[in-house]
Amino acid sequence: MNSFLDIHTTGKADLRAMIDSARRMKDARNGRPKGAPDDDLPLKNRMVALIFEKPSTRTRVSFDVGVRQLGGQTMILSGADLQLGHGETIADTARVLSRFVDMIMIRTFEEATLQEMAEHASVPVINGLTNRTHPCQIMADILTYEEHRGSIAGKKVVWSGDGNNVCASLMQAAGQFGFDFTFTGPPTLDPEQVWVDFARGQGVKVEIERDPVKAVEGADLVVTDTWVSMHDPQSAKERRHNQLRAYQVNEALMVHAKPDALFMHCLPAHRDEEVTSAVMDGPNSVVFDEAENRLHAQKAVMRWCLGV
């Protein structure tokens, strides 16, 4: 049994196998209706619990559809349904759910919730997102880059904006997949030093560059994310906008990257804030391929977790 908790705790060979598996499954669907099952149904007769303490569109739909395409069934539970850590400990919830389902995906706030769930569950647990990391998104991003440009190894990836949970997982991926990483953003929103150290420890180049124009020079991929969370108070939103305005991804910035550099955003985007519509809808943007690839990457993750 394998749990998929973070990119840096998953072996490089396993990560590569998941990306390759995702590509094969995507190719094998051959434009068939979205509700049609895959030819291979490794989750037949299996039940997957999808827990959402934090609301979601892409994570919920992609996991639900993915389980069904693989022949399984889903049980979707909100934080209110479970009252995680309130009416019952997370450890006990994990033990109970493991008696009813074959796998658990959890999208939550605190990393400790995910870790406790995984520690006490007797079925695989998948990290659908925490405040600290978002590994499933980055697996989709790697898949997206490679289907457009080939191997990501040795490429230059630039993150512009807030060193948040998506940035953290992308830095982990730099170490595991062997690409160079540049962060550009204000010092107050730097990524955690532990992720910088991890990637550098794997032998890749990691830079912090305050000037966004210098940062994107020679970039093969430019990535950003929203500046504020739906849960942030208004005062925090105003501070974030003031700090990050210089790091907006726009046409003037993208012209300094390689001519064929791709642009990614995990969505939902606040158009004309962290990225302009001209870039998001432009020829170098692959944001909707990236969104679709959550489905295919997560199907590969689930198969890996169950060894099927």
By C-alpha distance, which of 150, 125, 144, 174 is closest to 301?
Answer: 125
Q: What is the radius of gyration, based on Cα positions, of the chain? A: 19
CB 279 within 8 A of CB 250: yes
Structure tokens that stand for 111 in this block: 């990393």
- Active site (catalytic) residues: 107, 134, 137, 225, 266, 294
CB 158 within 8 A of CB 191: no
Cα distances from 274 to residues 183, 241, 248, in angstroms, run: 15, 9, 5
CA distance 194 to 6: 14
CB 276 within 8 A of CB 46: no
CA distance 308 to 304: 7
By C-alpha distance, which of 155, 142, 154 is closest to 264?
Answer: 142
Structure tokens that stand for 78 in this block: 């909100």
Cis amide prior to 135 (ω within 30 degrees): no
How would you class 283 by CB atoms within 10 Å of its CB: exposed for 0-12, middle for 13-18, buried for 19 or more?
A: exposed
**Amino acid in the structure at residue 231:** H
In eight-state DSSP terms, residue 190 is P
